[in-house]
């Protein structure tokens, strides 16, 4: 039975075939729908499966996710670390040999970037001799194939009828496998497990091309993502992810300080946010809660949410009176001014052509000149209250509880403080930015951006529901005697700041939108 057999997953490599994807996450942690790739592979096997995972590049990150997955699936996992990914002259062969003392029994070899069906694995394990799984590749690439009793690397196209090795194999005669692999190690450090599989005696188990997805290249990764669309709407950033694993939501971030501060703020924002559990230096979890996001709610839900915010913010006249005198807070000068300049310059270094003088056929000041005209002291006169920090409609869950809402994905700190307080205007601007740009429409590609000769053009769509909610928000700001122009100004800065956190072309769209809104908001002052 598969559940009583070991499975080896080498997860030590750099993932060089997906270089250029823009993500800081290693290949095993790239998202396929609502789960990381490694979890997708482990999910193919039933409860009780015992894994051996070879770690190398970003070992701690991969290990944290593997342990979370194994616990959710009632599986076991052993780890070992290898330097084969970074030492010249070493490669996959050395990684495989590192697992030898764990695998003194028959086992399945499963490449971390290969997705096949559970049915394929069940059939594979009925075999009583060494067996490889072969199929027709669905993307272009170089793959190993058996030809005249020998392993050869062959360039494949999807139209090719030749069968390629998928990266999944049953090693029945493990003693011979380890002997051959050790003897032939010096032949090719990157050949890996095939050096130990005798092409003369192994069986080939053929599957249809569509049953095998190679997620190790950008085309295959994109195909897997297209076939596993997540229910919730999460636009990927290059340094973080949100996953569904088992009955829990998992937040991953490359920055350990981010996770630590996020956990600290969660304790101070309870009961408005979920109770979380830190699972590792880069991960925390919280239970999946039944409910729908505010974005998916009925049109009347936003009115109820604004009433909820009155309690969350503890609105009082001293907080909301727009003209009350407040001193400049130096922390918020850094938060609004310094951070904006850093992010804008970072973006322009990547995309110098976006230092434009025209947007949608309207003349505009260049962005750095425009930023010089912002009254930063005015922005830094903040109104502190309990604050979330990212009140996007997709981060707000409508639930059946006394509060009616649960707030997700709160900022780990606001203006450098991991306390519960923050500027109410930042929260208001975050809400508005989430109503202007609908993540659901963005995910469907309902936006355009183009540039030519210092002239930019962009288009976007906005649902009628979000338009009405934007109007309701503006009425709320007016009724509460808050400064609507300040909200608009910070909203434009938010788009400029988040642009460099996303992938092309969405990052370009966000930057042009932020530039345009900044020009408009300054004209309205």
Q: What is the pLDDT of residues 366-413, one digit of tens each?
A: 999 999 999 999 999 999 999 999 999 999 999 988 889 999 999 999
Nearest by Cα to 428 from 366, 364, 473: 473
* Distance from C-alpha of 348 to C-alpha of 370, rounded to nearest angstrom: 14
Class for the domain spanning 2-227: alpha beta
Question: Which pairs from 336-341 meet CB under 8 Å and 24+ separation?
Answer: 336/376, 336/379, 336/380, 336/490, 336/493, 337/374, 337/376, 337/379, 337/380, 339/497, 340/371, 340/493, 340/496, 340/497, 341/371
- Residue 325: C-alpha distances to residues 318, 345, 382 (Å): 10, 33, 10
Residues of 130-146 as b/e, b for ≥16 C-beta within 10 angstroms?
bbbbbbbbbbebebbbb
pTM of the model: 0.87
* CB neighbourhood size of 316 (10 A): 10
Give the pLDDT confidence score for residue 369 in this predicted structure.
Answer: 97
Fold observed for domain 291-523? Aminoglycoside 3'-phosphotransferase; Chain: A, domain 2 (3.90.1200)
Domain residue limits, the chain: 2-227, 291-523
CA angle 365, 371, 375 (to 5 degrees): 125
Low-confidence residues of the chain: pLDDT under 70: 1-4, 19-22, 158, 187-190, 209, 317-325
> What CA–CA distance (Å, rounded) separates 431 from 490?
11
Residue 493 CA to its chain's centroid (Å): 23
pLDDT of residue 223: 86
Q: Quote the CA–CA distance of 484 and 424 in Å, as a whole number.
A: 12
Cα 299 to Cα 297: distance, rounded to the nearest angstrom? 6
Print burial letters for 84-115: b (CB count within 10 Å at least 16), e (below 16): bbeeeebbbbbbbbbbeebbeebbbbbbbbbb
Residues 6+ apart with CB under 8 A from 31: 25, 37, 225, 236, 241, 243
Quick check: 314 and 385 in contact, CB under 8 A? yes
Confirm if 202 and 149 have CB atoms less than 8 A apart: no
| DSSP one-letter code for 338 | I
Q: Could you give the 3-state DSSP secondary structure of residue 391? A: coil
Nearest to 487 by CA among 408, 441, 423, 440: 423
Euclidean distance between CA atoms 262 and 413, whole angstroms: 7
């Amino acid at each position: 039975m598969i559940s009583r057999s070991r499975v080896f997953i080498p997860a030590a490599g750099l993932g060089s075939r997906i270089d250029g994807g823009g993500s800081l996450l290693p290949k095993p942690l790239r998202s396929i729908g609502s789960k990381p790739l490694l979890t997708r592979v482990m999910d193919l096997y039933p409860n009780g499966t015992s894994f051996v995972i070879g770690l190398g590049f970003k070992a701690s990150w991969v290990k944290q996710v593997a342990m979370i997955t194994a616990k959710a699936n009632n599986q076991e996992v052993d780890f070992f670390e290898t330097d084969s990914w970074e030492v010249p002259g070493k490669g996959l062969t050395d990684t495989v040999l590192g697992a030898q003392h764990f695998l003194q029994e028959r086992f399945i070899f499963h490449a971390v970037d290969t997705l096949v069906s559970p049915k394929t694995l069940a059939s594979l394990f009925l075999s009583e001799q060494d067996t490889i799984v072969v199929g027709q590749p669905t993307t272009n690439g170089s793959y190993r194939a058996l030809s005249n009793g020998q392993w050869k690397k062959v360039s494949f196209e999807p139209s090719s009828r030749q069968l390629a090795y998928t990266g999944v194999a049953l090693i029945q005669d493990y003693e011979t496998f380890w002997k051959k692999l050790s003897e032939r190690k010096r032949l090719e450090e990157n050949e890996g497990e095939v050096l130990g599989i005798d092409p003369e005696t192994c069986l080939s188990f053929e599957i249809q091309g569509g049953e095998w997805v190679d997620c190790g290249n950008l085309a295959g990764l994109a195909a897997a993502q297209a076939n596993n669309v997540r229910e919730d709407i999460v636009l990927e950033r290059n340094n973080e992810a949100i996953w569904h694993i088992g009955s829990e939501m998992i937040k991953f971030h490359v920055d350990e300080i981010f996770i630590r501060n996020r956990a600290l703020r969660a304790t101070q924002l309870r009961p408005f946010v979920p109770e979380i559990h830190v699972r590792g230096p880069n991960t925390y979890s919280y239970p999946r809660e039944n409910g729908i996001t505010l974005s998916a709610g009925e049109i009347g839900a936003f009115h109820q949410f604004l009433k909820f915010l009155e309690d969350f913010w503890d609105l009082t006249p001293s907080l909301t009176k727009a003209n009350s005198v407040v001193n400049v807070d130096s922390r918020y000068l850094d938060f609004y001014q310094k951070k904006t300049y850093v992010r804008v310059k970072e973006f322009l270094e990547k995309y110098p052509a976006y230092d434009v003088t025209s947007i949608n056929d309207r003349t505009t000041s260049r962005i750095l000149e425009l930023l010089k005209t912002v009254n930063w002291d005015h922005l830094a006169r903040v109104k502190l209250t309990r604050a979330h920090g990212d009140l996007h409609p997709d981060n707000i869950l409508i639930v059946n509880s006394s509060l009616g809402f649960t707030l997700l994905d709160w900022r780990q700190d606001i203006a450098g403080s991991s306390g519960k307080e923050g500027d109410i205007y930042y929260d208001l601007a975050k809400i508005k930015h989430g109503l202007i740009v609908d993540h659901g429409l963005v995910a469907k590609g309902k936006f355009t951006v183009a540039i030519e000769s210092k002239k930019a053009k962009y288009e976007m769509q906005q649902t009628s529901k979000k338009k009405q909610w934007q109007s309701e928000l503006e009425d709320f700001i007016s009724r509460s005697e808050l400064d609507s122009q300040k909200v608009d100004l910070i909203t434009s800065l938010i788009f400029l700041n988040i642009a460099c956190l996303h992938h092309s072309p969405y990052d370009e769209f966000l930057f042009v939108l932020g530039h345009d809104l900044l020009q408009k908001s300054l004209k309205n002052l």
